Amino acid sequence: MTPQFNERVTALQVPGTRQFANKVSTYSNGINLTLGQSGFDAPDFIRQAMTDAIDRGQLRYTHNKGLIELRTAITDYTAARFNVNYNPETEVLVTNGGSEAIDSIFRTILNAGDEVIIPAPAYAGYEPIIHLLGARTVFVDTTETNFVPTAERIAAAMTPQTKAILFNYPTNPTGTTLSTEAIQELVQLLKDKDIFIITDEIYSENVYEGQHHSFIEYAEVRDQLFYINGLSKSHAITGARIGYVLAPEAAIDEVTKVHLYNTICAATPSQYGALAALTHPDSRQLISDMNHAYIERRDYLYDRLRQMGLPVELPTGAFYILPNISAYNTDSFQFATDLLEAEQVAVVPGAAFTAYGEGYIRLSFASTMEEIVEGCNRLERFLHVYQK
Ligand SMILES: Cc1ncc(COP(=O)(O)O)c(C=O)c1O
């Protein structure tokens, strides 16, 4: 007799995002345009806050919901940004990255057979968790509406099984942001419905045109909203693993149960790093400097891709761009494989972001300018000889 693994786990696929990055690292001249994190080093003041915490011996568990100083910094920061008040004692949970927030929320709300609507192309981290719970994803195609989900299409996807709808703006992998009008339209549709709204706004500091707008600004949906954010992307500290959830007290109480049985609390030194990230006077400038660099890289990449004849939207947030390669006589996985083998440039096939990502490739402008320039030169050379 061989012991059997959980069948939902064995059915999961390893993410398509990692394999090209792994392979390109084996080439001495490889160019990696797959980065899902800032290429900048973590700021000194965050590193210092973490090492200070360790030096002070702050290596015990914290409150399950996180340090109260950090929860207060999170609610202050959110109040200043969006003019909303959440109670640091009862309406915030600090998690091990945005990832754990996603996992714990889904485990808190989903029963087998429930459906979660997600505009797509979408981040590859949602569907596996939903499937592990025996629930289903219902993807709503945004490729014909400039990657913006319309209320009409969302409404058409709703069924009596719809338990939640997940938004991720700015979006990984499209770099799309939502206008106030688009959010208002969705809020009008969803308010008063028995459906949770989960908004993953992990890229909210990486917005390049105008201001970031959030579902959290709308009191009409407060009772059904889980707001996810974190420090991974904004402060270049993906390895610190700090995210957080804001939600009404009853919802936070339930998610906290899942979180405490799973991880007890977020890593203590990292929580001190996050506290510094949210309160240090240099933080704003740091984010703005990184964003300036991303804008310069984005603009260069966008112009080059257009010159190569690839249809592409200008990303207004996150650090990804998603050109359309469907004119070539192949699928996105094969395209990325051929590009890697011919030119040692790694990109992520669009199909890694649901079937609606097929026909696209994702390039990251969190890579350095030198890598982007060289990556574009090689991609251009590749396209000259690649079969249409
Ligand atoms: C849309 C989205 N949400 C969540 C995450 C996970 O973030 P964290 O590193 O904070 O777990 C990522 C990471 O790539 C992401 O792209």
222 plus 177 within the same structural domain: yes
Q: Using CB atoms within 10 A of its CB, is residue 326 exposed (0-12), middle (13-18) or buried (19+)?
A: middle
Tens digit of pLDDT for each residue in 17-68? 688 989 999 999 999 999 888 889 999 999 999 999 999 999 999 999 999 9
User: What torsion, rounded to 10 degrees, do the Cα atoms 129, 214, 207, 31 define?
Assistant: 0
End-to-end CA distance of the chain: 52
The confidence score (pLDDT) of residue 329 equals 87
Whole domain around residue 111: which residue ranges?
57-279
16 plus 70 within the same structural domain: no
Contact criterion met (CB below 8 Å) for 375 and 31: yes
Mean pLDDT score across all residues of the chain: 96
Let me know if residue 63 belongs to a domain.
yes
Let me know if residue 388 belongs to a domain.
no
105 plus 211 within the same structural domain: yes
- The CATH number linked to 265 is 3.40.640.10
199 plus 341 within the same structural domain: no
The confidence score (pLDDT) of residue 18 equals 80
Last residue of a domain, one of 245, 261, 279: 279
11 plus 67 within the same structural domain: no
350 plus 216 within the same structural domain: no
**Separation of alpha carbons 63 and 99, rounded Å:** 20
317-329: average pLDDT: 96
C-beta 240 within 6 A of ligand 1: no
**Separation of alpha carbons 131 and 300, rounded Å:** 39
The confidence score (pLDDT) of residue 218 equals 98
Let me know if residue 104 belongs to a domain.
yes
202-231: average pLDDT: 97
Tens digit of pLDDT for each residue in 218-230? 999 999 999 999 9
Tens digit of pLDDT for each residue in 229-242? 999 999 999 999 99
If one counts the domains in the chain, the total is: 2
Last residue of a domain, one of 256, 279, 302: 279
Which of 17, 96, 172 maximizes ligand 1 atoms within 8 Å of its Cβ, making it the mutation to test the pocket? 172
- The CATH number linked to 16 is 3.90.1150.10
**Is the predicted pLDDT of residue 263 greater than 90, yes or no?**
yes
199 plus 268 within the same structural domain: yes
269 plus 306 within the same structural domain: no
Let me know if residue 173 belongs to a domain.
yes
212 plus 164 within the same structural domain: yes
C-beta 123 within 6 A of ligand 1: yes
Which of 232, 241, 271 maximizes ligand 1 atoms within 8 Å of its Cβ, making it the mutation to test the pocket? 232
C-beta 234 within 6 A of ligand 1: no
Please report, as a single letter, which amino acid is at residue 352: A
Tell me the sheet residues that pair with 360: 324
Shortest-distance atom of ligand 1 to CA 123: 1
**Separation of alpha carbons 36 and 159, rounded Å:** 33
Q: Ligand 1 centre from 258 Cα, in Å?
A: 19
Contact criterion met (CB below 8 Å) for 82 and 306: no
Let me know if residue 373 belongs to a domain.
yes
Let me know if residue 86 belongs to a domain.
yes
Let me know if residue 49 belongs to a domain.
no
307-327: average pLDDT: 97
130-153: average pLDDT: 97
331-347: average pLDDT: 96
Shortest-distance atom of ligand 1 to CA 100: 11
Let me know if residue 2 belongs to a domain.
no
Backbone angles phi, psi at 116, to 5 degrees: -120, 125
288 plus 247 within the same structural domain: no
Residue 143 banded pLDDT, cuts 50, 70, 90: very high
Last residue of a domain, one of 279, 301, 322: 279
Q: Residue for token digits 């979180």? A: 259
The confidence score (pLDDT) of residue 114 equals 98
Q: Any residues with CB less than 8 A from the CB of 350 and at least 6 apart, and which? A: 121, 173, 322, 325, 332, 357, 358, 359, 360, 361, 362
144 plus 293 within the same structural domain: no
147 plus 264 within the same structural domain: yes
